[in-house]
């Protein structure tokens, strides 16, 4: 359908009160190449009353507590990025669209076109500034004719990991609901993370000119529980929803792309490492990067031909090794750099957003009915993001961008066979 979007000029929103100045160090994990990315997402809400006004005000008050977010990323020494607490503020755009959310439901899971936080060249004379990698956060609130609204977020992964970004967004929402301060006190504390002797200095990956097709699949709780029960019967152990979904996805994709029985298939996923740094980091409040990229390599014949239970066991074994591998990396004992992901078609990187917290953001009118990642700029490696499905559905929604066009039919068929079993 055709519709038009009206955008006001972008403005810088600063902290509501004076905040400290000076430079703050980023951690060794913040400075790794794998997190030098910009992450885009949309939170879609069914209803709100003047949401742009409420969110703008709450954002300003949140920046009093999260004042580094209003600063700029600088790199006085190559590879040694810092945050300069300039207080310049975050970019904010108010927009409206002449259609309802219902009109867009057919495409909301893919991109919600023209109603997200991507900044058009027509938005303002400041548009060239909005793309600078030094900016930490950009927010756009788009109001729909029906009373619903969407909050587009573009955040710099160098300053936040997924849990940290969700913590900040929930803090803004808490202030919008009337709280005097965030329920979780933010902590910078980047210097508490040890700096490994062998730290990756590679630049962030660049697009390789390969186009991966976007698809969405909903996996029901019944299907997930059936595999969990099978795993328990055959091994006497329990496994997680992540284990089941990842094993199924890895197997379906391996069969679909058919690289050959002897090809190496790589699986990567980020594991939260906060619990491994107890005593160094506070129990809550830290919003920087604290993840360790786990990698698994297996022969294509094994992944394609094994039972789901056997693939789940591979994933569980890797997760069991993670604490020791993280410690080895921190101490400089690791032979390979875990942050150097093979940029090959045989690689699959998955990100679990189901429990990060994006679905818990409530500005006062209820939690989002959709969380939509936008990874248009990250089309350099096969990937999949795990999301909560639209309510009242239960299970996991997979937003995949992991196969080229010629392999999409086979991949879709493999996924359908799993869904229907």
- Catalogue the active-site residues: 157, 362
Reference 43, options 355, 378, 360; nearest CA is 360
Reference 44, options 177, 117, 149, 166; nearest CA is 149
At 365, give phi and psi (nearest 5°).
-125, 20
Counting beta carbons within 10 angstroms of the beta carbon of residue 302, is it exposed (0 to 12), middle (13 to 18) or buried (19 or more)? middle
> Please, what's the b/e burial string for 41-61 (b: 16 or more CB within 10 A of its CB; e: otherwise)?
bbbbbbebeebbebbbebbbb
> Please, what's the b/e burial string for 377-386 (b: 16 or more CB within 10 A of its CB; e: otherwise)?
ebbbbbbbbb
For residue 384, give the H/E element and its range. strand 383-387
Q: In what order do the strands lie in the sheet with 291-299?
A: 213-220, 395-403, 383-387, 347-352, 264-272, 291-299
Tell me the torsion sign for CA atoms 43, 49, 51, 52: positive
**Helix 241-257 with 408-420: angle, nearest 10 deg:** 140
Given the structure tokens 């056997």, which residue do they identify? 310
Counting beta carbons within 10 angstroms of the beta carbon of residue 175, is it exposed (0 to 12), middle (13 to 18) or buried (19 or more)? buried
Q: Can you give 285-326 as a three-state secondary structure string?
A: CECCCCEEEEEEEEEHHHHHHCCHHHHHHHHHHHHHHHHHHH
Beta-bridge partners for 373: 41
Separation CA 108–CA 85 (nearest Å): 36
Separation CA 206–CA 343 (nearest Å): 10
């Amino acid at each position: 359908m055709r519709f038009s979007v009206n955008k006001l000029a972008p403005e810088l929103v600063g902290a509501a009160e004076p905040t400290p100045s000076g430079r703050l160090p980023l951690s060794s994990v913040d400075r790794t190449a794998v997190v030098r990315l910009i992450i885009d997402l949309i939170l879609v809400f069914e209803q709100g009353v003047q949401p742009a006004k409420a969110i703008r005000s709450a954002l300003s008050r949140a920046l009093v507590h999260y004042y580094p977010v209003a600063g700029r990323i600088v790199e006085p020494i190559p590879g040694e990025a810092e945050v300069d607490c300039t207080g310049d503020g975050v970019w904010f755009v108010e927009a409206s669209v002449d259609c309802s959310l219902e009109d867009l439901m057919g495409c909301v899971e893919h991109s919600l076109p023209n109603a997200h936080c991507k900044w058009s060249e027509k938005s303002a004379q400041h548009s060239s500034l909005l793309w600078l990698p030094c900016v930490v956060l950009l927010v756009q609130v788009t109001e729909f004719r029906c009373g619903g609204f969407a909050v587009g977020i573009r955040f710099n992964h160098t300053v936040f990991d997924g849990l940290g970004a969700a913590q900040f967004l929930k803090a803004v929402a808490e202030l919008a609901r009337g709280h005097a301060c965030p329920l979780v006190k933010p902590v910078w504390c980047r210097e508490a993370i040890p700096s490994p002797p062998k730290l990756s200095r590679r630049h962030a990956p660049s697009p390789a000119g390969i186009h991966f097709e976007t698809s969405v699949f909903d996996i029901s709780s019944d299907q997930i529980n059936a595999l969990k029960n099978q795993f328990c019967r055959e091994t006497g152990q329990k496994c997680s929803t992540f284990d089941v979904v990842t094993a199924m996805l890895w197997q379906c994709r391996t069969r679909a792309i058919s690289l050959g029985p002897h090809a190496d298939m790589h699986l990567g996923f980020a594991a939260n490492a906060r619990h491994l740094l107890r005593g160094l980091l506070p129990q809550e409040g830290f919003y920087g990067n604290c993840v360790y990229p786990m990698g698994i390599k297996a022969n294509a014949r094994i992944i394609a031909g094994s039972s789901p239970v056997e693939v789940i066991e591979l994933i569980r074994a890797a997760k069991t090794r993670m604490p020791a591998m993280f410690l080895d990396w921190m101490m400089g004992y690791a032979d390979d750099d875990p942050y150097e992901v093979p940029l090959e078609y045989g690689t699959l990187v998955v990100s679990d957003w189901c429990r990060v917290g994006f679905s818990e953001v409530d500005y006062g009118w209820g939690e989002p009915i959709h969380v939509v990642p936008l990874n248009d700029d990250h089309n350099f490696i096969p990937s999949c993001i795990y999301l909560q499905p639209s309510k009242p559905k239960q299970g996991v929604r997979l937003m995949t961008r992991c196969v080229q066009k010629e392999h999409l039919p086979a991949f879709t068929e493999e996924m359908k066979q799993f869904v229907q079993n």
